[in-house]
């Protein structure tokens, strides 16, 4: 697709993100319908569904031949990354949305034949829109984000959920403990999209997780690539756009150093779950 196409699409999506954000803010005055999905800590609300349908309706109207993968299941049954594919998370950080009424985001990533073309992450309450068209730089609202500069581990702010340094079934907690100890500090925000946007903007230096779905990382990967960051699975292998993956993103040298550490630990016999 031509540059003009992506510019017009960028304009449309920016408008939709802002409108959807407004709907989410408005919804705080209404009674929220909260349901469990797979367990007590896996929540979905009426607003997750409403916002997903909001986007799907507009995409169908403007781009009837595009396909959509989205968390709450109103999208398409997609088995290949051919053509134009939208990866949509209507609310990333639903638990934050329910408990904190902040620190949640709308995430929209658009790929063409498997290549990231445009990414949008909207931190609604901060009113921070992280956005890019591939090859034209990434932005936080109007401000162009600088290319990422490398940083040493002991001067880095590293984002990891406490799950992964405690007993869990996906990774030996001893693998990441030394990283968590030797970086300058750790953070955990409860929204993967915001954490990915923070890596793109340099607010965080790296982010680690053992399981994310395409709608969680779709937009973030495009933004991070645009500012020269690196993203792989935690063992250094490439991310498969259509499936769940572990994810390690960050400033290039730092990301590579942590991948090497993980590989070393695995070669010494510590366990890590293979790709989902």
The residue from 124, 132, 212, 254 that contacts ligand 2AM (CB under 6 A) is: 212
Q: Shortest distance, CB of residue 242 to ligand 2AM, whole angstroms?
A: 15
What are the DSSP E strand ranges found in 127-261?
Answer: 128-133, 138-140, 143-144, 157-160, 185-187, 206-212, 230-232, 245-250
Smallest gap from residue 25 Cβ to ligand 2AM (A): 17
Task: Give the integer Cα–Cα distance in Å for 235 and 274.
Answer: 9
Binder of residue 81, out of Ca ion, ligand 2AM, none (CB less than 5 to 8 A by kind): none
DSSP-derived pairing of the beta strands 143-144 and 138-140: antiparallel
Find the binder of ligand 2AM among 10, 67, 86, 92 (CB under 6 A): 92
Q: Alpha-carbon distance 114 to 11, whole Å?
A: 22
Task: Work out the angle between the directed axes of helices 192-201 and 214-226 (0-180°, nearest 10).
Answer: 0
138 in contact with ligand 2AM (CB under 6 A): no
Q: Does the footprint of Ca ion cover residue 123 (CB under 5 A)? A: no
**3-class DSSP state of 271:** coil
Query: Binding to Ca ion by residue 195, rule CB under 5 A?
Result: no
- Contact between 192 and ligand 2AM by CB under 6 A: the answer reads yes
The answer to whether residue 211 forms part of the interface with ligand 2AM (CB under 6 A) is: yes
Crossing angle (nearest 10°) for helices 3-26 and 46-62: 150
**What is the distance between the alpha carbons of residues 175 and 172, in angstroms, rounded to a whole number?**
6
75 is a site residue for ligand 2AM (CB under 6 A): no
Q: Is 89 in the site for Ca ion (CB under 5 A)?
A: yes
Does position 161 bind ligand 2AM by CB under 6 A?
yes
- Region binding ligand 2AM by CB under 6 A among candidate stretches 28-36, 190-198, 200-208, 260-268: 190-198
Q: Is 272 annotated as a binding residue?
A: no
91 annotated among ligand-binding-site residues: yes
Considering only 27-35, 85-93, 170-178, 256-264, which stretch makes contact with ligand 2AM by CB under 6 A? 85-93
According to the binding rule CB under 6 A, does residue 123 interact with ligand 2AM?
no
81 contacts 214 by C-beta, under 8 angstroms: no
Is residue 85 packed enough to be buried (19+ CB in 10 Å), middle (13-18) or exposed (0-12)?
A: buried
User: Which string of x and - marks every residue 12-51 that binds ligand 2AM (by CB under 6 A)?
Assistant: ------------------------------x---------
Q: Give kind and range of the element (H or E) at residue 276.
A: none
Q: Could you tell me the CA-to-CA distances from 169 to 104, 149, 163 in Å, in that order?
A: 27, 34, 10
Judged by beta carbon, residue 94 or residue 201, the one nearer ligand 2AM is 94
For the chain, state the CA radius of gyration.
Answer: 18
Residues 230-269 that bind ligand 2AM (CB under 6 A): none
- Distance in angstroms (rounded) separating the CA atoms of residues 167 and 171: 8
Q: Which residues are annotated as a binding site?
A: 71, 89, 91-92, 216
Interface residues with Ca ion (CB under 5 A)? 71, 89, 91-92, 216
Interface residues with ligand 2AM (CB under 6 A)? 42, 71, 89, 92-94, 161, 190-192, 211-213, 216
């Amino acid at each position: 697709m031509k540059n003009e196409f992506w510019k017009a699409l960028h304009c449309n999506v920016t408008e939709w993100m802002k409108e959807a954000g407004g709907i989410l803010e408005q919804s705080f005055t209404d009674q929220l319908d909260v349901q469990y999905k797979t367990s007590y800590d896996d929540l979905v609300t009426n607003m997750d569904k409403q916002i997903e349908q909001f986007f799907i309706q507009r995409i169908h109207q403007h781009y009837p031949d595009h396909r959509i993968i989205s968390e709450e299941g109103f999208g398409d049954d997609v088995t290949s990354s051919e053509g134009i594919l939208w990866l949509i998370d209507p609310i990333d950080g639903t638990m934050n949305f329910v408990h904190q009424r902040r620190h949640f985001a709308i995430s929209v990533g658009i790929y063409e034949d498997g290549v990231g073309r445009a990414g949008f992450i909207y931190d609604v309450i901060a009113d921070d829109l992280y956005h890019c068209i591939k090859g034209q730089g990434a932005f936080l609202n109007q401000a162009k984000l600088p290319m990422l500069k490398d940083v040493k581990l002991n001067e880095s702010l590293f984002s990891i959920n406490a799950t992964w340094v405690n007993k869990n079934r996906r990774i030996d907690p001893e693998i990441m403990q030394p990283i968590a100890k030797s970086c300058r500090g750790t953070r955990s925000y409860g929204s993967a999209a915001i954490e990915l946007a923070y890596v793109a903007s340099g607010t965080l230096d790296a982010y680690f997780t053992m399981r994310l779905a395409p709608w969680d990382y779709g937009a973030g990967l495009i933004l991070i690539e645009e500012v020269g960051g690196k993203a792989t699975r935690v063992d250094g292998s490439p991310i498969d756009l259509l499936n769940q993956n572990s994810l390690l993103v960050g400033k290039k040298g730092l990301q590579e150093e942590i991948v090497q550490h993980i590989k070393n630990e695995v070669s010494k016999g510590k366990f890590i779950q293979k790709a989902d």
